[in-house]
């Protein structure tokens, strides 16, 4: 992964790691894509992202999805006890 690519995903990767734990990202051998392995030591990837921009968006979406679930759970507890 290039310095530019690392800088592009830096904030969303940090948020992902904070919410889910360490992840391993490997660049595709002969292309622009990236494989995401979670947990970090997994032998099989959970997501293929065809570009660095897609990877950045995917990381963002994972964090937002988790936060939305958390907010919904809290709201349900307030409403229904």
Q: Among 35, 31, 8, which Cα is nearest to 23's?
A: 35
Measured between alpha carbons, how far is residue 62 from residues 10, 27, 33 in Å? 15, 20, 18
In order, the DSSP letters of 54-75 are: HHHHHHHHHHHHHHHHHHHHHH
The rounded distance, in Å, linking the Cα atoms of 43 and 47 is: 12
pLDDT greater at residue 47 or residue 78: 47
pLDDT tens-digit readout, 4-19: 999 999 999 999 999 9
**% of the chain exceeding 90 in pLDDT:** 77
Every domain of the chain and the residues it spans:
3-80
For the record, the structure tokens of 42 come out as: 């997994």
Q: Is the pTM of this model over 0.85?
A: yes
């Amino acid at each position: 992964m290039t310095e530019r690519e690392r800088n592009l995903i830096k904030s969303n990767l940090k948020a992902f790691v904070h919410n889910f734990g360490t992840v391993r990202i490997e660049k595709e051998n002969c292309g622009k894509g990236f494989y995401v392995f979670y947990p970090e030591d997994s032998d099989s990837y959970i997501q293929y992202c065809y570009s660095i921009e897609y990877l950045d968006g995917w990381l963002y979406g994972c964090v937002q999805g988790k936060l939305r679930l958390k907010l919904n759970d809290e709201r349900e507890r307030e409403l229904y006890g």
